[in-house]
């Protein structure tokens, strides 16, 4: 039996409820202007309703019914074309949305159809891995990983649909960022499933199986990302459409005077205000010397009550904890506090050479949303000789890492997906030591480039965006890129670069940062030939240091030195990460705008 469960369409009960809500809205509206507006919105979502103005005095003859039917079909065709206009795969967009909606659907169902059609398609795509047979341990691991990835895909699609349902229609354009963060993660998981297989026939089969699912994901991202433009093109005066996206006064009235969401608990508020050590009482203490409730971090995690609410705080006393740690998806809002990033250290040596997929090499993997780590160290000691060896893998939405340290060589920090914020952290490595497809900002961090193997080059970032409609990318702001002491004597021997395009639409911005002289004048390195050089988005703004000279930078179509501050604004925490909702605070070391 397949391990992949059916995602399923809308239930009849939901359809009936939504239809009843729509009737109530129509009755309350009353005025002809609102009726016209609803008819327009219905057209947007692919459903044609009988126009109310035509019902007055209309004929009941067969010819008139035929004429009405023809008019409705024409309206359906035009509206589907309009809503699919911003997509890259229009044929499958038109077919899937038309099939997923009917005359009883509400306007919101019409917009959500672009997301709901992904469910069955991705179930079928991921289930292909069930049919693959191989004695290769790495293939077996990839198949197991795909099953795990599909569970995450289902969860993110469900969250997106719930997010659409929870919003009023006129709020969707200003709230679409979070929906697209979830759908970007769906795209990342599809790609991670494929990447787990070694090159060959089995990997090609998974790529082919994912084709339609990736196209539907792309279409949904494009539609949600262009809702404002779409409504505006119809001259629809939707309240809130023109308001500032992250205005505390209008878009987010739930933000208090300190810039902290009002829904944040008092304990979380103290964390965000930087009063951790003195004010926050741990729920559990882990200590190697036996002075705490547990001597291992895994034991503490396994003992977390299933029915806990609020934030659960684990205090990790000074010590080196040699264990592979997983914060599962079901465990949200966990805080891990150490005695210092070089004192409280979680260490491991899992690696690719010994037969694991890169995904499974992580010493620490964080999947529960809202995770916070403060003054912790994450380490993988496999060394450069073992190639991919992840110290920390993060798939936690709205996760925060303060004063932490990630140590490794190749693939040290796997910022896999969703929204992440790093402040005052140290990340060390050699090849692609910051990689993944998250929406992540690194602020006031130090990227330390280590000495690689004699035949290798150093690359700081390898961002993995596969679709231009994703929200994802890496922003390095007010950071330092420096050479490790062991590399300094041999800086001239090894070429070091800011990044290379792991995927076709790789997206990285480095701004207001200090770049050391170890960085090659080209700045960036191709992945393979001219792959992604026209489609990537690499930007630099207002950097300093000997490695920041741009006269010798690559001349790729996708690279640009930004000189206009207004153009660079979209990469601030406020606009790129939409962090004002969940990390901004006046006493927290967070800069929502520019430093200068």
What's the rounded Cα separation, in Å, for the pair 328 and 365?
8
Catalytic residue flag (residue 432): yes
Pick from 362, 309, 352, 353: nearest CA to 331: 309
Residue 157, H or E segment? helix 137-166
Contact predicate 402/375, CB 8 Å: yes
**Residue 390: Cβ within 10 Å count:** 32
Rounded distance, CA 93 to CA 82, Å? Answer: 11
Q: How far apart are CA 32 and CA 422, in angstroms?
A: 52
State the angle between helix axes of 90-100 and 107-116 in degrees (0 to 180), rounded to the nearest 10: 130
Say if residues 548 and 514 touch (Cβ distance below 8 Å). Answer: yes
Q: Exposed, middle or buried by CB within 10 Å (0-12, 13-18, 19+), for 539?
A: buried
Q: Which of 129, 116, 91, 92 is nearest to 208 (CA)?
A: 129
Radius of gyration from C-alpha coordinates of the chain? 26
Q: Is 414 helix (H, G, I), strand (E, B) or coil?
A: strand
Q: What is the DSSP letter of 255?
A: B
Whole-number Cα distances in Å, 209 to 100, 123, 202, 213, 415: 21, 10, 11, 8, 25
DSSP 8-state code for residue 261:
B
CA distance 332 to 505: 31
529 CB-near residues (< 8 Å, 6+ apart) = none
Give the three-state DSSP class for 189.
helix
What's the token pair of residue 50? 């009988």
Ramachandran class of 578: left when φ > 0, alpha when ψ lies in -120 to 50, beta otherwise: left
Question: Residue 375 in contact with residue 403, Cβ under 8 Å?
Answer: yes
Task: Point out the catalytic residue in the list 411, 517, 522, 564.
Answer: 411
Reading the block at residue 572, the tokens are 């601030």
- Measured CA to CA, the distance from residue 351 to residue 383 in angstroms comes to 9
What is d(CA 128, CA 142) in angstroms, rounded to the nearest whole number? 12
Q: Which of 109, 212, 432, 437 is catalytic?
A: 432
Backbone angles phi, psi at 400, to 5 degrees: -135, 135
Starting from the edge strand earliest in sequence, which strands make up the sheet with 312-316, in order? 284-286, 312-316, 334-338, 372-374, 399-402, 419-423, 439-443, 473-477, 507-511, 537-541, 559-562
Taking the C-alpha atoms of residue 417 and residue 191, their distance in angstroms, rounded to an integer, is 11
Alpha helices in 30-61 (DSSP H): 32-44, 52-55
Would you please indicate which residues are annotated as catalytic (active-site) residues? 411, 432
């Amino acid at each position: 039996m397949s391990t992949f469960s059916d995602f399923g369409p809308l239930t009849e009960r939901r359809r009936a409820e939504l239809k009843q809500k729509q009737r109530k809205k129509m009755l309350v509206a009353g005025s002809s202007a609102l009726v016209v507006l609803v008819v327009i919105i219905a057209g947007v979502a692919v459903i044609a309703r009988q126009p109310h103005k035509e019902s007055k005095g209309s004929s009941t003859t067969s010819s008139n019914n035929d004429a009405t039917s023809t008019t409705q079909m024409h309206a359906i065709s035009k509206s589907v074309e309009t809503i699919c206009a911003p997509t890259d795969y229009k044929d499958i967009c038109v077919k899937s949305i038309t099939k997923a909606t009917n005359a009883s659907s509400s306007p919101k169902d019409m917009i959500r159809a672009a997301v709901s059609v992904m469910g069955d398609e991705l179930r079928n795509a991921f289930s292909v891995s069930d049919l693959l047979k191989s004695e290769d341990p790495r293939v077996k691991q990839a198949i197991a990983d795909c099953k795990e990835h599909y569970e995450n895909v289902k969860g993110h699609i469900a969250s997106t649909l719930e997010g659409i349902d929870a919003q009023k229609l006129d709020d969707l354009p200003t709230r679409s960022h979070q929906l697209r963060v979830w759908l970007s993660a769906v795209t990342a998981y599809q790609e991670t499933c494929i990447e787990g297989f070694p090159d060959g026939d089995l990997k090609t089969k998974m790529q082919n199986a994912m084709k339609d699912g990736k196209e539907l994901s792309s279409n949904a991202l494009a539609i949600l990302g262009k809702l404002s433009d779409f409504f505006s093109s119809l001259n629809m005066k939707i309240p809130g459409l023109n308001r500032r996206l992250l205005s505390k006064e209008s878009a987010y009235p739930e933000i208090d005077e300190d810039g902290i969401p009002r829904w944040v608990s008092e304990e979380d508020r103290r964390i965000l205000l930087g009063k951790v050590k003195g004010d926050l009482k741990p729920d559990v203490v882990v200590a190697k010397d036996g002075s705490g409730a547990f001597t291992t971090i895994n034991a503490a995690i396994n003992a977390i009550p299933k029915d806990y609410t609020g934030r659960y705080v684990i205090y990790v006393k000074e010590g080196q904890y040699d264990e592979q740690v997983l914060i599962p998806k079901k465990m949200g809002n966990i805080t891990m506090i150490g005695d210092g990033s070089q004192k409280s250290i979680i260490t491991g040596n899992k690696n690719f050479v010994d037969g694991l997929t890169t995904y499974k090499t992580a010493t620490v993997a964080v999947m529960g949303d809202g995770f916070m780590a403060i003054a912790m160290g994450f380490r993988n000691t496999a060394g450069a000789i073992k190639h991919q060896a992840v110290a920390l893998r993060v798939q936690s939405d709205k996760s925060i890492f303060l004063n932490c340290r990630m140590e490794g060589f190749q693939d040290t920090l796997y910022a896999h997906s969703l929204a992440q914020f790093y402040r005052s952290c140290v990340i060390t490595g050699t090849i692609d030591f910051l990689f993944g497809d998250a929406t992540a900002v690194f602020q006031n961090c130090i990227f330390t480039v280590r000495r690689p193997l004699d035949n290798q080059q150093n690359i700081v970032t390898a961002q993995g965006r596969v679709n231009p409609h994703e929200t994802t990318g890496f922003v390095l702001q007010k950071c330092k890129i420096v050479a490790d002491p062991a590399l300094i004597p041999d800086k001239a021997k090894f070429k070091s670069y800011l990044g290379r395009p792991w995927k076709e639409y790789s997206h990285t911005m480095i701004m207001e940062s200090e770049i050391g002289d170890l960085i090659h004048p080209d700045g960036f390195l191709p992945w393979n030939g001219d792959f992604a050089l026209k489609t990537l988005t690499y930007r630099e703004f207002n950097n300093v240091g000997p490695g920041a000279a741009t006269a010798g930078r690559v001349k790729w179509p996708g690279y640009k030195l930004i000189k206009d501050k207004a153009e660079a604004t979209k990469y601030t925490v406020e606009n790129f990460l939409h962090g004002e909702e969940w990390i901004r605070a006046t006493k927290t070391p967070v800069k929502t705008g520019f430093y200068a």
